[in-house]
Structure 1
């Protein structure tokens, strides 16, 4: 990652809040011309600091399930096989290899309980090398964000 100055950090924070702001609006806030803002944003894309720009939907429109998964065997091949299996399903919103009692945390997003059961059967029950998994449902998405601190 390239080194950031204060303007970069401020600009990245603003873009994470609302990437639809105009270059002129961003420039006014951070004290740069629109063309200087554009050059910085182009650099963020070119260096991989910004990987993509997306629309973020309200998670309350989905049933969110947080699942912990423990593998039966701990080989690199077993991990790769589980990852490939999980990532093949578009309902897997997030997948984390974690420390502690479980090996993975899988976040599933579905339209309701019926679809959740179908997806959980495909993603977790039928996954290779699973010793056990547990599921917790998000009752109230108190804070969901994709914003990463830029400092």
Structure 2
């Protein structure tokens, strides 16, 4: 449910899915796909932004199309479980543009970090700065992405089978 207290209806769910597929569609094109006028779509999109459901619009680049990008997944375990250690770790990683995704997880590791760099030398510099030389990092391991078979950022807006 959005922060404004309004329940998402079927049109909202469809519109959010369409925006995640291609936010470059015009309001008119989106309206045709969901059966609303462009102005009605604009009001809904403004509501999504105001409630925080729609955080931002971004361009998604395809890493297999000639970009010289090295993707790496790092599994990180912190030295201490204190809130301060986690806060400091998150602050440092959130400030680094190479960090594409950061997840606090359960299991043997505390965090999963997805790094995007411009090659091995750049990766080493970033990993040293953010992980190897960082306080409170007990250990980390790196998995290099050989083939980004499927990438994406679309999130479900309702449970499967809900109408």
> Which TM-score applies when normalising by structure 2?
0.89
Partner of 1:6: 10
- Larger mean Cα displacement after TM superposition, 52-61 or 67-76: 52-61
Partner of 1:15: 19
Partner of 2:161: none
Partner of 2:52: 48
Structure 2, unpaired ranges of 5+: 159-163
TM-align CA RMSD: 1.1
Note the C-alpha offset of 1:94.
1.0
Other structure's SS at 1:19 match: coil
Counterparts of 1:132-147 in structure 2, within 5 Å, are 132-147=139-154
Other structure's SS at 1:14 match: helix
Note the C-alpha offset of 1:42.
0.9
CA distance in 2, matches of 1:27, 1:90: 35
CA distance in 2, matches of 1:3, 1:145: 26
CA deviations 1:39-96 (Å, max 9, x no partner) are: 1111111111101111111233311100001111111111112112222211111111
Normalized per residue, the structure richer in helix is 1
Other structure's SS at 2:107 match: coil
Partner of 1:77: 84
Partner of 1:124: 131
CA distance in 2, matches of 1:26, 1:46: 19
Q: Is structure 2 residue 117 aligned with structure 1 residue 110?
A: yes
Q: How many residues were matched structurally? A: 151
> Which TM-score applies when normalising by structure 1?
0.95
Counterparts of 1:24-35 in structure 2, within 5 Å, are 24-35=28-39
CA distance in 2, matches of 1:88, 1:25: 37
Other structure's SS at 1:96 match: strand
